[in-house]
A and B are shown apart, each in its own frame.
Chain A
C-alpha cells in the first residue's frame, strides 16, 4: 500500500500573535513552527496502515518555503520513507491554489490513499483535502474518526452534529482525518538519525491562481464591558437580572 500524507507547517498556537505592519500578515518575530495537529494524526494512521498491512510506503509532502523541510524531516523521523517539498515562497490562503499544486504532484504517483488532517490548525479552513480529491477525481471522505481498510475498500466513521455516519468507499481515495483516531507517535532517536539520510526531493510548487486572498488581519476585539458580577452564590440573583434585562438572553 502506497500512501501520501500532506503535512502543513503551522505556527505554535500557544504563542501570542501580533500583526505585521502590512496589516495582512503575522509578525514573524518569535514565531515557532510545528506540524499541524490533525496532520500528525493523519500521518500516524498512514504509518499504522502500512505497518499492519504492508508492504508499502508512506510519502510525506509539504508545500511552502524552505522551513517546511523541518516538518518533513519530522515526518521522516516518525517513519515516512521519503519526502517531497513543493517549494513556494509563501503558502497562499486559497485552498484551491494549494490543491492545484498537490494534485499536479500526486496525479501520477500511484497512491492508494492520499491523507490530510481534517484542517490546518492555523487557517482552519479544511478545504485542501476535498479540493485535491476533486482535481484528482478520487472519492473523498472527510473528518474521519474511525477507519478500516481491507481488500481495496474502506469503511469510515464521520461524526456529525449529534449523529454519526458510517461511510463506505473504494480505493484509491482521499481521506481527511479528525482527532480521536490515533495519537501521533514521538520520533525515536533512531528515527531522527535515520531521517537525515532519507530522500527529500525539492520541486517548485505549481500553484493555481489565487481567488481568495487576505484583505486584512486583525486581533479580535477584546470583549469589552466584561465584569465580575460578584463572588459566590450571593451574586446569582444579580447575574440573572443582568442576563434578563441587559443581555436579554434569558
Chain B
C-alpha cells in the first residue's frame, strides 16, 4: 500500500480542470493498490488554501498547501523543488501531473531532480506489482506505446481529458508547507500572464469541441462553427493547422500533432479532411462526428458518425436541431 501524489494545477487562484483529473487518477491508483492515501500539492498565492476542499471532493486525503506572495503566477523552479522535495520524503508510489503546458514544463524537472523517470502524455495507466504501465500515443497517434516505469516514485503526466474527473468526496486534511526553495531565487520569472477570452471555453477543458478545416473556405465562415458551439453550450472551437497557418483562426486554436492534443467527450469535425497531423490531436476523443462533402475523406475512418454533404447546409441545420432539443428540455 503506497500513497499517491497529485500536482493540483491552478492559474490565477483557480484550480484547473486537470487538477481534478490528476487527483482522480491518483485516487484510482491508490484504490487499485490497497487504498493508500492521496496527497495533492497546491502551490500559489495566499488564499489558495480555500480551494483544498474541492480537491477532497475528488478523493484527496491530504492537501499540501504552499502559499507565498511571490507565487501568484507559475514559478517553475519553486514548483519543481517543492514537488520533488515532497516526493523524496513521502514514500510515494506514483505521482500524477497534467500533460498541460504547465505540467509538461514541471513534471520533467521534478523527475530529473528525483533521478527518476517520467511517462508523458499518458491516456491510461495500471499499477502492476513493482511497475506502473502507462499508455502513450506516439508517432502522431499512429502507434500506441505501452511503457513500463520502474522508478519509485513513478511519474506520469496525463493527457488532459483522458481521465474523467470523478467525485469521491472526503474531508481533506490541509497541511501547510514552505516552498522548496526561496521564491526570490527563481531564475525563470513569469512577468505577465495574459488570459485569453474568459467567455470561451478552453479546448482542454471543454467536453465538446467543434472544429473547422479548409472546407469552410473563408475565415468569416467560422461563424457557422461558432454558432454550433454556442448552440451546444459547453463547447469550444478548434481548427486545423491549415486554417491557423492561413490566419483564419489564432495559432492557439490549432488541434493536431503540432498544436493541442485533446480528448473531449464529443468532437465535431466540420470541413476537415482528416490529415494525419490533425488526427494525432483528436483521435482519442470519445465520440467523433464528421461532416464533409467528400465521402472518401480520411476523417470518416475515425468518425463514429458521419454525414456526407455540404457543410453550409448541414451545419446550420445541426445548430437548429440542437437548439430545438435544448429548448425542449
Q: Which residues of A contact B (CB under 8 A)?
A: 11, 13-14, 16-17, 19, 26, 37-38, 93-96, 99, 121-131, 133-135, 139-143, 145, 155, 158-170, 179-180, 210-220, 222-223, 225-233, 235-237, 239-240, 242-244, 247, 249-250
Please give, as numbers and ranges, the residues of chain A lying within 8 Å of B321 by CB-CB distance: 236-237, 240
B310 at the interface (CB under 8 A from A): yes
Task: Let me know if B307 and A243 touch, CB within 8 A.
Answer: no
Task: Let me know if A243 and B146 touch, CB within 8 A.
Answer: no
Q: In whole angstroms, what is the CA distance A249 to B207 when docked?
A: 9
Which 7 A/B pairs are nearest by Cβ-Cβ distance?
A: A134-B112, A139-B187, A212-B117, A232-B309, A162-B202, A211-B151, A125-B120
Closest to A220 in B: B144
24 A–B contacts, CB within 8 A, in A order: A96-B112, A99-B112, A122-B139, A124-B257, A134-B112, A134-B113, A135-B112, A145-B251, A161-B204, A162-B252, A163-B194, A211-B151, A212-B148, A215-B133, A217-B145, A218-B143, A218-B144, A219-B142, A220-B141, A223-B301, A235-B309, A239-B318, A247-B287, A247-B304
Closest to B252 in A: A159
Q: Which of B111, B191, B260, B309 contacts A166 (CB 8 A)?
A: B191
Q: Which of A26, A128, A130 contacts B109 (CB 8 A)?
A: A130
Taking the nearest CB of chain A, how far is it from the CB of B140, in angstroms? 5
Given contacts A213-B150, A217-B146, A226-B303, 6 further A-B contacts (CB under 8 A): A13-B140, A214-B148, A217-B143, A217-B145, A226-B301, A249-B286
Q: In whole angstroms, what is the CA distance A124 to B205 when docked?
A: 21
Task: Let me know if A229 and B119 touch, CB within 8 A.
Answer: no
B71-111 to A contact mask, C-beta < 8 Å, 1/0: 00110110010000000000000000000111011011101
B220 at the interface (CB under 8 A from A): no
Task: Let me know if A214 and B147 touch, CB within 8 A.
Answer: yes
Q: Which of B140, B143, B203 contacts A26 (CB 8 A)?
A: B143
Task: Let me know if B295 and A228 touch, CB within 8 A.
Answer: yes
Q: Which of A140, A213, A231 contacts B307 (CB 8 A)?
A: A231
Task: Let me know if A247 and B305 touch, CB within 8 A.
Answer: yes
**Known A124-B138, A228-B307: A249·B287 in contact at CB below 8 Å:** yes
Closest to A169 in B: B188
Taking the nearest CB of chain A, how far is it from the CB of B155, in angstroms? 9
Task: Let me know if A37 and B258 touch, CB within 8 A.
Answer: yes
Task: Let me know if B109 and A162 touch, CB within 8 A.
Answer: no
Please give, as numbers and ranges, the residues of chain A lying within 8 Å of B203 by CB-CB distance: 161-162
Task: Let me know if A243 and B147 touch, CB within 8 A.
Answer: no
Q: Which of B187, B283, B308 contacts A231 (CB 8 A)?
A: B308
Taking the nearest CB of chain A, how far is it from the CB of B146, in angstroms? 4
Q: Which residues of B contact A (CB under 8 A)?
A: 11, 73-74, 76-77, 80, 100-102, 104-105, 107-109, 111-113, 115-121, 133, 136-151, 160, 187-197, 200, 202-205, 208, 232, 251-252, 257-260, 265-266, 276-277, 283, 286-289, 295, 300-310, 313-314, 316-318, 321-322, 325
**Known A166-B192, A236-B317: A217·B144 in contact at CB below 8 Å:** yes
Please give, as numbers and ranges, the residues of chain B lying within 8 Å of A227 by CB-CB distance: 304-306
Q: Which of B74, B147, B200, B266 contacts A213 (CB 8 A)?
A: B147
Please give, as numbers and ranges, the residues of chain A lying within 8 Å of B308 by CB-CB distance: 228, 230-232
Closest to A236 in B: B317
Please give, as numbers and ranges, the residues of chain B lying within 8 Å of A170 by CB-CB distance: 187
Task: Let me know if B137 and A220 touch, CB within 8 A.
Answer: yes
Task: Let me know if A233 and B117 touch, CB within 8 A.
Answer: no
Q: In whole angstroms, what is the CA distance A128 to B107 when docked?
A: 11
Task: Let me know if B304 and A161 touch, CB within 8 A.
Answer: no
**Known A19-B143, A130-B105: A233·B309 in contact at CB below 8 Å:** yes
Task: Let me know if A226 and B305 touch, CB within 8 A.
Answer: yes
Please give, as numbers and ranges, the residues of chain B lying within 8 Å of A135 by CB-CB distance: 112
Please give, as numbers and ranges, the residues of chain B lying within 8 Å of A219 by CB-CB distance: 142-144
Taking the nearest CB of chain B, how far is it from the CB of A97, in angstroms? 8
Task: Let me know if A142 and B202 touch, CB within 8 A.
Answer: no
Q: Which of A162, A214, A236 contacts B195 (CB 8 A)?
A: A162
Task: Let me know if B304 and A223 touch, CB within 8 A.
Answer: yes
Task: Let me know if A250 and B266 touch, CB within 8 A.
Answer: yes
**Known A162-B202, A211-B117, A250-B266: A243·B288 in contact at CB below 8 Å:** no
Closest to A136 in B: B112
Task: Let me know if A232 and B190 touch, CB within 8 A.
Answer: no
Please give, as numbers and ranges, the residues of chain B lying within 8 Å of A233 by CB-CB distance: 309-310, 313-314, 316-317
Please give, as numbers and ranges, the residues of chain B lying within 8 Å of A96 by CB-CB distance: 111-112, 115-118
Task: Let me know if A167 and B191 touch, CB within 8 A.
Answer: yes
Q: Which of B73, B116, B121, B307 contacts A232 (CB 8 A)?
A: B307
Taking the nearest CB of chain B, how far is it from the CB of A218, in angstroms? 5
Q: In whole angstroms, what is the CA distance A155 to B192 when docked?
A: 11
Task: Let me know if B189 and A167 touch, CB within 8 A.
Answer: yes
Task: Let me know if A214 and B145 touch, CB within 8 A.
Answer: yes
